[in-house]
Structure 1
Amino acid sequence: MAHPPTELLRVERRERLAWLLAGLVIVLLCVGRLWWLPAPAALSVNEGWNAQHVVRLFGAAALYPDPEALIANNYPPLSFLVVGLFGTVTGDIILAGRLLALSAQLACALAVWAIVARLAPGPRWKLAGIMLFGAYSVTLLRTYVAMNDPQWLGDAAMAWGVFFMVPRRAGGTPSLRSIAIAAVLMVAGELIKHNLVAFPIAVTVWLMLFDRRALIAWIGFGALFTAIACAGVYALWGMTAFIDVLAPARSYSAMRMLAKGGPLLLAMIPVLIACRPLLRQWRQDRRLALPLCLFAVSIPLGIIQRAGSGVDVNAFFETVIALAVAVPVATSLRPRPSIAWIGISVLPALCLVPIATAANVRELRTRDDAVRNAAPLIAALATARGPVACDDQAYCYWAGRESGIDFFSVKQRLLQDKAAALAPALAEGRFAMIQMRGHNPGWQENRLIPAIRAHYRTVYAKDGIELLVPKR
């Protein structure tokens, strides 16, 4: 039975109000992160680590050091090049990386908009995709908002690659041009971040099921561009680059995977329920199976990746992009579409709003103190007479120094009884100064800390951050 015009107007007004409130909450939860954009204080150890490798790429040091060295690089090279070039404009590599990460996150949102527009015509569903993406971005994934890290940049390339694979009409097939563009984008995404494999696998599975001709073209273009990329990396950095990226020292734990990845699976239950119409109707429009493939591949891969030490919520970026596409499209297919299904799907994100709000307030309150506290550390490292090492390499970067130790990599190698170069370097007092964060001595991964304390003494300590110099 048709709704009276006045009832439809009331429904539309309620929807507009819901979108307005959702957009306002999303923007407000970003304020703390945006407040940190120009601040010379690190949001995460990732920021300095990435910045140091940009410096190495554009300087005299090796971007991919010997696997036995005390520094390490397990990321592909493209993000360092892009951030470094933009850094010549901003004058600060970390600021450049933050701005690029924020822009890439917005590019992912636009990709969601574009994909949903092809599969579910109508402004309300495109807007729903944007809101779902934004809601999870500022809650579950908020630590990566405007942070100098390449994950969003790589995912932006992957998401737009998916867009070019979606035919314009039901029953259509991707053109050779679209397949080639998608393959270039996804290879570029892989050159930015090596763990972005969910979307290429999902597209391959989708084509295998529905379009064997397009599959052959997809594999052909993918193999060609991958070969070109690998040849270029080999020509510039040799086999060491592949060893460093593909075989880094890293511990894995099934318990960590269950503890860090299991909650995601539970959180996705309402989302999976909301996506049921895709299961019923993909036979009428095979394009509808693509969001299902994206979802089905990204969830288990994200959970598996969380088994690795140091792997954070960035393992779930593809899952969030997939759900932001799948839920609006599925909702549009229901006999009586309602944004209530969008509300059900956003429940896990809503549960995290109090935590995100507290973090947002903390960022607003602590930024200036963080900048003031960083200043003496940066000054001390800048004037140290000899090589230095930074647990948080952003301090070394802002001091204009290169960190001689990659703390995470060395800790992981010590678990394997490797890092033979560490003991003599510390015993000789090779580093004039070491910056170190407070660590829990009970953690097995902190074997590096007692090794440092055996030969170095603390000369400065504040808020869990220390500066150490050789004892002799």
Structure 2
Amino acid sequence: MQLEDGTSAGLRKPSPPLLCRFYDRAVGAFLVDVIATRPLSRTDTRSLVYVAALGAAAVYFLIFPIWRGQFLVEIWPTESWNAYWQDAVSRGLPLYPDPTSLVGNNYPPLSFYGVALFGKLFAMGNLQAGRALSIVALVLLAIEITGIVKILAGSTFYGALGGLWYLAIMARNSTIYVGADDPQLAGLAIMGAGLWWFLDRVAAERDPTPALLLMVVAGFWKHNNIAIPLTCISWLLITRNRFAVRGVMISGAAALAGLGLCITIYGPNFLPNMLATRSYGMGTLLANIGHLQWIALALFIWLFWALSSRRTAAARFTMLHVGFGLFACLLQWLGHGVSGNAEFDLILAAAIGIGAAFAGASDTLLSHRVGPDRLRDIMVAALLLRLLASDRQETALLFLSDDFRASLRGTETNLRFEASKVAIMPGNVECKTKLICRQAGKPFVVDEFKVEEMLLTGKATPQSIAEKMAAAGITTFNETLPATAQPKASLIYWLKNRH
């Protein structure tokens, strides 16, 4: 029996709950009639609101790290460490020191050459070049997420939402890497380009080996971005791709050839530096694992969609990618001194998953109950609330607080003053804030991280370290003024003390 609306008797869809009907009339009408400046469909208007909301969040959180980049302050200790090795490349000095010395370099070589070249091309110092390159890499990663989701889930638009969320969460939560002289983001951007290229070639049933080789290059820029190559190789094997064996063998041979080339170029110091002394234990893992709270909601949204669409290639691939991202994160956090960059693989996988979840929202069980439009509204609102739900609000204080803005200027003044004192000290000098010694024109003679790991693992004692420093004529500079970029970013504190 046919009803007037064309459905069969007994098969009529249940009426939406009263709350959903009210939501449609209130929110839906607002979106169409108030926000739209020209006649648009309800879906088109919603799309514009999604982009505007997540785009505004991304821009808002990016303002602070971009503004901060102009100051001569040490954002994070690895900044000066990277800048010293970039200086070494620029000056033709050895890149991998004697393993028995008090300095070490456990990063692969390409990033140092890349940043030095970038700085030379744009007439920038290495420190500023590294900071600028990290912002460029972050934007490139957002574009790559868009393209990857387009291949996996068929939607450029929802891929762009994943990319915008990625920009926002990284600028919000990884400020010691975003806008800092660190190779992690640029290395991940090269790896992300490899993933995009890989999926494009696999979708076209072409040999993905060139994309795997690009991932090998990315590994010689920064070596701990491992989730993407593990995911791609596993996907080739799981799907029994006809190019799987060829791709794995050629890319593996290329990685070994690259290691051999580095040993040839840099000599016997290369491998001992790369295999740097480090202590391991559960303490660092337990100290860092709480940081995953920032992406927990995004992972929940992705998982809800992935389980509903688990038979699709997009869901299966993202399950593999997120799984390897989580594995890489937890594995690296077992190492002492490993920080937030260990989770970058996982955050990238989560962003791709979010884009795919937006695209496939209509396939979930909850969508059948509340409708795909309302479900996507809830997803966007929840992601935005999680981004904003924190007392740490650097960008807001940048506009609201004169003291906040002045703090970094004061820190730069302190650093320059301290550097002027170090510059007149005779011989080699150790600075706790390495940027002070670098600004003073002093060479890099003590790597505090290497020394700490030698002490923790029992490979050195405080007395043996002191003897080495004395033999090398190294004097320790005792800083009297703060010279690191640590402004007080509590909005509540500012509200309580603004009068």
TM-score normalised over the length of structure 1: 0.83
> SS state of the match for residue 461, structure 1?
coil
1:9-68 CA deviation, whole Å, 9 max, x = no partner? 456435423432332232122222112223222211111000111122333542111222
Given candidates 289, 311, 327, the residue that maps to 2:316 is 289
1:165 corresponds to: 198
Higher mean C-alpha displacement, 151-160 vs 390-399: 390-399
What does 1:27-106 correspond to in 2, within 5 Å? 27-59=59-91, 61-89=93-121, 90-106=123-139
2:236 corresponds to: 207
| Cα distance in 1 for residues equivalent to 2:310 and 2:200 | 14
Give the percent of matched residue pairs that are identical in Structure 1 and Structure 2: 24
| Cα distance in 2 for residues equivalent to 1:132 and 1:297 | 21
Residue type at the aligned position of 1:424: E
1:259 corresponds to: 287
| Cα distance in 1 for residues equivalent to 2:58 and 2:419 | 34
Contact 1:129 1:325 in 2 (8 A): yes
Given candidates 152, 176, 196, the residue that maps to 2:185 is 152
| Cα distance in 2 for residues equivalent to 1:287 and 1:368 | 48
**1:349 and 2:382 aligned:** no
1:424 corresponds to: 467
1:234 corresponds to: 263
Structure 1 residues 208 and 268: CA distance shift in structure 2, 3 A: farther
Aligned-residue offset at 1:419: 3.8
**1:381 and 2:381 aligned:** no
1:278-334 CA deviation, whole Å, 9 max, x = no partner? 344453x43442222111110132122122222111111111111111122123223
Higher mean C-alpha displacement, 357-366 vs 55-64: 357-366
2:359 corresponds to: 332
| Cα distance in 1 for residues equivalent to 2:236 and 2:194 | 14
> SS state of the match for residue 154, structure 2?
coil
| Cα distance in 1 for residues equivalent to 2:397 and 2:449 | 25
| Cα distance in 2 for residues equivalent to 1:227 and 1:270 | 37
Gaps of 5+ in 2: 1-12, 17-23, 33-39, 363-370, 485-499
2:447 corresponds to: 406
**1:115 and 2:143 aligned:** no
**1:395 and 2:436 aligned:** yes
> SS state of the match for residue 264, structure 1?
helix
Structure 1 residues 278 and 173: CA distance shift in structure 2, 3 A: farther
Structure 1 residues 266 and 321: CA distance shift in structure 2, 3 A: closer
> SS state of the match for residue 172, structure 2?
coil
1:374-414 CA deviation, whole Å, 9 max, x = no partner? 11122222232211222222222222221210011101101
Aligned-residue offset at 1:269: 5.5
2:346 corresponds to: 319
What does 1:136-151 correspond to in 2, within 5 Å? 136-151=169-184
> SS state of the match for residue 480, structure 2?
strand
Aligned-residue offset at 1:261: 1.6
What does 1:125-144 correspond to in 2, within 5 Å? 125-144=158-177
| Cα distance in 2 for residues equivalent to 1:236 and 1:301 | 30
Given candidates 409, 425, 429, the residue that maps to 1:368 is 409
Structure 1 residues 259 and 80: CA distance shift in structure 2, 3 A: same
**1:248 and 2:291 aligned:** no
| Cα distance in 1 for residues equivalent to 2:303 and 2:296 | 11
> SS state of the match for residue 388, structure 1?
strand
Higher mean C-alpha displacement, 287-296 vs 44-53: 287-296
Contact 1:52 1:393 in 2 (8 A): no
1:343-365 CA deviation, whole Å, 9 max, x = no partner? 44565434347455578678634
1:187 corresponds to: 216
Aligned-residue offset at 1:430: 1.0
Cα RMSD (Å) of the superposition? Answer: 2.9
Higher mean C-alpha displacement, 22-31 vs 44-53: 22-31
> SS state of the match for residue 434, structure 1?
strand
1:243-286 CA deviation, whole Å, 9 max, x = no partner? 211x2122222132023124517952552343333344453x43
| Cα distance in 2 for residues equivalent to 1:266 and 1:87 | 33
| Cα distance in 2 for residues equivalent to 1:302 and 1:426 | 35
1:199-229 CA deviation, whole Å, 9 max, x = no partner? 1111122222113423213202312321331
Structure 1 residues 428 and 354: CA distance shift in structure 2, 3 A: closer
2:476 corresponds to: 434
| Cα distance in 2 for residues equivalent to 1:358 and 1:195 | 34
Given candidates 206, 210, 215, the residue that maps to 1:175 is 206
Residue type at the aligned position of 1:107: L
| Cα distance in 2 for residues equivalent to 1:386 and 1:10 | 71
Structure 1 residues 44 and 358: CA distance shift in structure 2, 3 A: farther
| Cα distance in 2 for residues equivalent to 1:427 and 1:216 | 55
What does 1:296-311 correspond to in 2, within 5 Å? 296-311=323-338
Aligned-residue offset at 1:114: 0.9
Structure 1 residues 273 and 32: CA distance shift in structure 2, 3 A: closer
